[in-house]
Amino acid sequence: MDYISGLNDRQKEAVLHPEGPLLILAGAGSGKTRVLTHRIAYLIEERKIFPGNILAITFTNKAANEMKERVAELLGGDIGYIWMGTFHSICVRILRQDIDKIGYDRSFSIYDRDDQITLMKECIKEQNLNKDIYKERSILGNISSLKDAMISPDTYINQNYNDYYRRNVGELYALYQKKLKQNNALDFDDLIIKTLELFRADPMVLDYYQKKFKYIFVDEFQDTNKSQYELIRLLADKHKNLCVVGDDDQSIYKFRGADITNILNFEKDFPNTKIIKLEQNYRSTKNILNVANHVIKNNSERKDKSLWTDNEEGNLVVVETLPDSQEEAYFVANMIEKLMVEGYKPSDFAILYRTNAQSRTFEEVFIKRGIPYKIVGGLRFYDRKEIKDILAYLKLIQNPVDDISLKRIINVPKRGIGNATMGKIEQYANEVGESIYSVLQKLDDIPDLSTRAKNSIKGFVEIVNNLMRIKEQMSIKDFIEEVLKETNYIKELEKQDDIESRTRLENIREFISVAVDFEVKNPEGNLEDFLATVSLLSDVDKTEDLKNTATMLTVHSAKGLEFPVVFLVGMEEGLFPIFRALDNESELEEERRLCYVAITRAQKLLFITHAKIRTIYGNTSYSLPSRFIDEIPKNLITTTEESSNLGNNKRRLVNIVDRTKRRKNNTVKSQENKDKVQVGTKVNHKKWGIGTVVQIKNKDEDKELVIAFNEPIGLKRLLLSIAPIEIV
Ligand code: ATP
Ligand code: MG
């Protein structure tokens, strides 16, 4: 295969570069990553470099996966022995091999954000510090910066001995590290720091990797911090075949210590660096690129660049004002439905937001609308084990024939009911054609059960029967607490008393607040309604093809990616740019670079939205449109009203979609159509509009449906025979 056709001259030059350090500095969408992947393929195929001698580093898992796919495609197979991944994943690989040389066990755990917070809370408590002043998140932020800058707890304490607050931060840092070590755990920053420590402590290990990695590549080089830079500098020290690509306009991790001086140092640390600049953008339409250029040009700390494109003019960028964040989510969902009618597929869409907390509203609306989606970088709340466990208990109590739920929790916490026992019970239940829970009521009929097993099961059945009896007598919140208590679920976690169990306990508390929230919104709602709502939230996309889903992600994690259609949401002063940047010029410039990153992800269509009223962290306030919107010349933007001439009522966009769909269905008589209703079916109700069927129960001759409609209507119970609905 030819690795250089389809590249422009500058790109070719980079791919064919013979040996030695190479620095590619260029704007968004100019083909930096493409050059990098082509060069890797070229080295392997043409220059016969062994794949195991290549190391390629990117910033996010998603970017790493895309890079793997691109290289595999070029090589016509898989990427074999190439080491390709994020700084973190590369370091984990190295540490799993050799971390015992610096006193850790090789089976170390990696603590995620939640675990870190739990651990820091403990440290603050142990140090007897006021938790209103010492907030775990901000302390962790401090510690992370210190680690990036490679400053140890002792150094920091000594430097700040006379500053009471900082000295305490230093003490917390020391204690936090000690506890990590006791738990044989590393946090994300440690992964880099400990690898460096290992290289320093054991030159043989360093030597091995220096020899191994003859060619090293780093994408998004503008975002490397000090410790990461040190790591690649060390690794490349022998062969000096280091190729880094980056864009100073996209440097968005200054707050994490990313250091643009790394680019300057690079030329110093690696004399005779070849520098290549790329100027043609291949990703976006002229209009989108134009908007991006106009925004970034307001930064003063930048080298002026001229990025141009040969692509089509494209549509104007849409800027849309919505009354509140709910409406914003509906707007995006409506637009997506409309564009899908025009032929776009779910995976063409990305919703970019500034802060993770914004995703929840979009999740809820997408679920209601049946738009498949995934969230990049983060386990969804309802995917967590403890949440699934509680739900399984509740589902079983609500619905004793739910064997799946029963099997999930019959031995959680451990009650000595093993797989063999369960096997016998299940087999018997199958033979007699009853649910598992029902045969558990008559244990003596089940062959071959030991007395011990029988006793354990009796205990379990008693607990569940009891809970079934009392469920109507209390609020949902109280009932959930009762379940957690009676089943010993909480007690077991408390007994376990480690980071993991404490994190689980916090998630359970969060789940209880979901219940409280539900009760406030649905004073009439019972456990069944609650489960219907929650199951709807948790069950989505299980069966969906995860590849063909819309993507929700923060702007930070969108770096390096591209999507045909981008919704850049929550563009409001105080949100984007974020509040703390409002009175700080340098942070503001970082926010602007972030905005530039967001805009340049879009290939064909870009929608920018802002809401007039927004609730952030429980506070509702009026918000002004982001200054970045004001920086776009008016002739480059439009609104959906102008662009589709729909008049004032945005709801009409929905109507258009509905009408197209209805036309399709009108030929089918609604009554025969109705028999096809099943869980997940979307229906259109005369008064309430589009909803999704979330539950069906036989009721005498008829069926009772629970349908989730858009807020504020919510869940409704209807009898199938008389409900004025049709399938859409
Ligand atoms: P970012 O700064 O956002 O990381 P980038 O500089 O890494 O962007 P790429 O992702 O490599 O840019 O390329 C952007 C898009 O342009 C990709 O879809 C890529 O395949 C395409 N592209 C790059 N170079 C060319 C070329 N010479 N001809 C056609 N398409 C190209
Ligand atoms: Mg890139």
For residue 309, pLDDT over 60 is answered with yes
Task: Please indicate, yes or no, whether residues 113 and 208 belong to a single structural domain of this protein.
Answer: no
Q: Is 246 in the pocket of ligand 1 (CB under 6 A)?
A: no
pLDDT at 352: 97
Q: Is 28 in the pocket of ligand 1 (CB under 6 A)?
A: yes
Is there a domain that residue 341 lies in? yes
Residue having the nearest C-alpha atom to atom 23 of ligand 1: 31
Is there a domain that residue 391 lies in? no
Task: Please indicate, yes or no, whether residues 511 and 409 belong to a single structural domain of this protein.
Answer: yes
Probe residue for ligand 1, chosen from 282, 285, 593, 594 as the CB with the greatest number of ligand atoms within 8 Å: 282
| CA 27 – ligand 2 centroid, Å | 9
For residue 664, pLDDT over 50 is answered with no
Is there a domain that residue 398 lies in? no
Long-range contacts of 175-178 (CB under 8 A, 24+ apart): 175/123, 175/126, 175/127, 176/119, 176/120, 176/123, 176/143, 177/153
d(CA 105, CA 98): 9
Rounded mean pLDDT of 106-131?
82
Active site residues: 32-33, 219-220, 250, 601
CB 640 within 8 A of CB 596: no
Which of 529-551 are b and which e, b meaning 16 or more Cβ less than 10 Å from the residue's Cβ? bbbbbbbbbbebeeeeeeeebbb
Residue predicted with more confidence, 690 or 14: 14
Largest Cα span, the chain: 84
Question: In a 10 Å sphere around its CB, with 0-12 CB exposed, 13-18 middle and 19+ buried, how is residue 399 labelled?
Answer: middle
69-96, pLDDT tens digit by residue?
Answer: 888 888 887 777 899 988 988 998 899 8
Residue predicted with more confidence, 311 or 404: 311
448-465, pLDDT tens digit by residue?
Answer: 999 999 999 999 999 999
Q: Which atom of ligand 1 is nearest to the CA of 597?
A: 3
Q: Which atom of ligand 1 is nearest to the CA of 37?
A: 11
Q: Is 423 in the pocket of ligand 1 (CB under 6 A)?
A: no
Task: Please indicate, yes or no, whether residues 95 and 207 belong to a single structural domain of this protein.
Answer: yes
Long-range contacts of 262-266 (CB under 8 A, 24+ apart): 262/221, 262/222, 262/224, 262/226, 262/229, 263/23, 263/25, 263/221, 263/222, 265/229, 266/21, 266/23, 266/221
| CA 538 – ligand 2 centroid, Å | 33
pLDDT at 381: 63
Q: Is 29 in the pocket of ligand 1 (CB under 6 A)?
A: yes
Annotated binding residue 621: no
Task: Please indicate, yes or no, whether residues 310 and 267 belong to a single structural domain of this protein.
Answer: no
CATH of the domain at 82: 3.40.50.300
Annotated binding residue 68: no
Identify the band that residue 490 occupies on the pLDDT scale cut at 50, 70 and 90: very high
Is there a domain that residue 291 lies in? no
- Give the residue from 461, 424, 460, 465 showing the smallest Cα distance to 445: 424
For residue 62, pLDDT over 90 is answered with no
pLDDT at 600: 97
d(CA 713, CA 716): 8
Tell me which residue range forms the domain holding 242.
9-100+195-280
Q: Which atom of ligand 1 is nearest to the CA of 30?
A: 6
Annotated binding residue 28: yes
* CA atoms lying within 13 Å on the CB side of residue 424: 16
Q: Is 8 in the pocket of ligand 1 (CB under 6 A)?
A: yes
Rounded mean pLDDT of 508-535?
80
| CA 600 – ligand 1 centroid, Å | 11
Identify the band that residue 55 occupies on the pLDDT scale cut at 50, 70 and 90: very high
Rounded mean pLDDT of 193-198?
96
pLDDT at 277: 92
Annotated binding residue 33: yes
Is there a domain that residue 270 lies in? yes
Rounded mean pLDDT of 213-237?
94
Task: Please indicate, yes or no, whether residues 234 and 259 belong to a single structural domain of this protein.
Answer: yes
Annotated binding residue 680: no
Task: Please indicate, yes or no, whether residues 77 and 170 belong to a single structural domain of this protein.
Answer: no
Cα dist from 60 to 64, 124, 223, 267, whole Å: 6, 31, 11, 25
Spell out where 68-164 has E strands.
83-86, 109-111
Q: Is 309 in the pocket of ligand 1 (CB under 6 A)?
A: no
Q: Which stretch, 183-187, 348-352, 542-546, has highest mean pLDDT?
A: 348-352
| CA 283 – ligand 1 centroid, Å | 6
Annotated binding residue 27: yes
Ramachandran area for residue 306 (φ above 0: left; ψ -120 to 50: alpha; else beta): beta
- Angle, to 10 degrees, between the axis of helix 9-16 and the axis of helix 32-45? 40
Ligand nearest the Cα of residue 597 is 1
Residues in the chain: 728
Task: Please indicate, yes or no, whether residues 309 and 276 belong to a single structural domain of this protein.
Answer: no
- Give the residue from 191, 158, 184, 195 showing the smallest Cα distance to 173: 158
pLDDT at 436: 93
Task: Please indicate, yes or no, whether residues 432 and 462 belong to a single structural domain of this protein.
Answer: yes
Rounded mean pLDDT of 678-682?
81
> What mean pLDDT value characterizes the chain?
86
pLDDT at 703: 79
List, in order, residues 6 or more apart from 112 with CB less than 8 Å away: 188
Neighbours of 103 (CB within 10 A): 10
Counting residues of the chain whose pLDDT is more than 70, the rounded percentage is: 89
Is there a domain that residue 687 lies in? yes
pLDDT at 672: 52
For residue 48, pLDDT over 80 is answered with yes
Q: Is 283 in the pocket of ligand 1 (CB under 6 A)?
A: yes
Identify the band that residue 658 occupies on the pLDDT scale cut at 50, 70 and 90: very low
Q: Is 30 in the pocket of ligand 1 (CB under 6 A)?
A: yes
Tokens of 205: 């290990």
Q: Is 7 in the pocket of ligand 1 (CB under 6 A)?
A: yes
Q: Is 34 in the pocket of ligand 1 (CB under 6 A)?
A: yes
Residue having the nearest C-alpha atom to atom 9 of ligand 1: 31
CATH of the domain at 175: 1.10.10.160
Identify the band that residue 649 occupies on the pLDDT scale cut at 50, 70 and 90: very low
CB 336 within 8 A of CB 349: yes
Task: Please indicate, yes or no, whether residues 204 and 247 belong to a single structural domain of this protein.
Answer: yes
251, 280, 309: which is the final residue of a domain?
Answer: 280
Annotated binding residue 676: no
| CA 570 – ligand 1 centroid, Å | 27
d(CA 190, CA 94): 13
Tokens of 626: 């982001």
d(CA 568, CA 589): 18
Q: Which atom of ligand 1 is nearest to the CA of 600?
A: 3
Is there a domain that residue 357 lies in? yes
Rounded mean pLDDT of 490-504?
82
318-367, pLDDT tens digit by residue?
Answer: 999 999 988 999 999 999 999 999 999 999 999 999 987 688 789 888 98
For residue 399, pLDDT over 90 is answered with no
Residue having the nearest C-alpha atom to atom 18 of ligand 1: 283
Residue predicted with more confidence, 641 or 76: 76
pLDDT at 185: 82
d(CA 276, CA 298): 25
pLDDT at 286: 97
| CA 277 – ligand 2 centroid, Å | 14
Q: Which atom of ligand 1 is nearest to the CA of 11?
A: 27
Q: Which atom of ligand 1 is nearest to the CA of 561?
A: 3
For residue 333, the SS3 value is helix
For residue 202, pLDDT over 90 is answered with yes
Q: Which stretch, 183-197, 244-258, 693-707, has highest mean pLDDT?
A: 183-197
Rounded mean pLDDT of 154-172?
94
183, 206, 222: which is the final residue of a domain?
Answer: 183
Among 355-369, 513-527, 669-683, the minimum mean pLDDT is found in: 669-683
| CA 256 – ligand 2 centroid, Å | 20
pLDDT at 619: 62
Q: Is 247 in the pocket of ligand 1 (CB under 6 A)?
A: yes
575-620, pLDDT tens digit by residue?
Answer: 999 888 888 888 999 999 999 999 999 999 999 999 998 866 456 6
Is there a domain that residue 530 lies in? no
Q: Phi and psi (nearest 5°) for 450? A: -70, 155
How many structural domains does the chain have?
5
Task: Please indicate, yes or no, whether residues 702 and 603 belong to a single structural domain of this protein.
Answer: no
pLDDT at 107: 73
Q: Is the peptide bond before 447 cis (omega within 30 degrees of 0)?
A: no
Residue predicted with more confidence, 118 or 329: 329
Rounded mean pLDDT of 234-251?
93
Q: Which atom of ligand 1 is nearest to the CA of 601?
A: 3
Ligand nearest the Cα of residue 32 is 1
470, 488, 522: which is the final residue of a domain?
Answer: 522
For residue 143, pLDDT over 90 is answered with yes
List, in order, residues 6 or more apart from 478 with CB less than 8 Å away: none
Task: Please indicate, yes or no, whether residues 413 and 372 belong to a single structural domain of this protein.
Answer: no
| CA 36 – ligand 2 centroid, Å | 9
Q: Which residues surround ligand 2, an ion (CB under 5 A)?
A: 32-33, 560
Task: Please indicate, yes or no, whether residues 412 and 350 belong to a single structural domain of this protein.
Answer: no
Annotated binding residue 30: yes
* Sole residue written with tokens 């989108």: 288
Residue having the nearest C-alpha atom to atom 26 of ligand 1: 7
